[in-house]
């Protein structure tokens, strides 16, 4: 035979549990806006971004248009180029890419600042150094496009060596 608990014992146990739960302190209020703001870490100084080099792009555009032989023409200059093909930029400023077209072929040259720090990741595709100056390095494809023979004109127009 099983023994039943008296109803008064059950009510007494429930009451004691409820009172013990109510006897604890209420949870603390969430922190105020000023307390959260004071707890944020202080701003840390950030190094200045690289200053870069002022490139005379307009002058280069005029000189390239005048020196590159027909049928090749300067089709565009793109800025903020990370690295030439086959390279990965590790540090330093970004550069420019110069695009020349003859209607069927497209020839590109990548002009990067002297401080460009890069690493070859694909030797079969990596552009090679074609010319330099005190401020810039000119990269070109390993093999020029058929009919292209104006690399010397590009080097001269950009005042490189």
pLDDT reading at 84 higher than 90: yes
pLDDT in tens, 145-159: 898 988 999 999 898
CA distance 159 to 105: 25
pLDDT in tens, 11-67: 777 777 766 666 667 788 888 888 888 888 777 776 665 565 677 888 889 999 899
| pLDDT score at 30 | 87
């Amino acid at each position: 035979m099983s023994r039943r608990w008296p109803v008064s014992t059950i009510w007494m146990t429930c009451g004691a549990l409820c009172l013990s739960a109510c006897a604890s302190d209420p949870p603390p209020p969430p922190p105020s806006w000023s307390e959260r703001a004071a707890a944020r870490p202080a701003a840390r100084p950030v190094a200045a971004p690289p200053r870069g080099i002022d490139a005379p792009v307009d002058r280069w555009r005029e000189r390239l248009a005048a020196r590159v032989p027909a049928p090749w023409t300067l089709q565009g200059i793109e800025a903020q180029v990370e690295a030439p093909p086959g390279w990965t930029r590790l540090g330093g400023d970004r550069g420019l890419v110069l695009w020349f077209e003859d209607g069927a072929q497209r020839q590109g040259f990548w002009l990067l600042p002297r401080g460009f720090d890069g690493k070859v990741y694909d030797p079969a595709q990596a552009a090679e150094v074609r010319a330099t100056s005190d401020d810039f390095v000119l990269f070109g494809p390993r093999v020029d496009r058929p009919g292209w023979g104006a690399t010397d004109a590009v080097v001269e127009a950009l005042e490189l060596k």
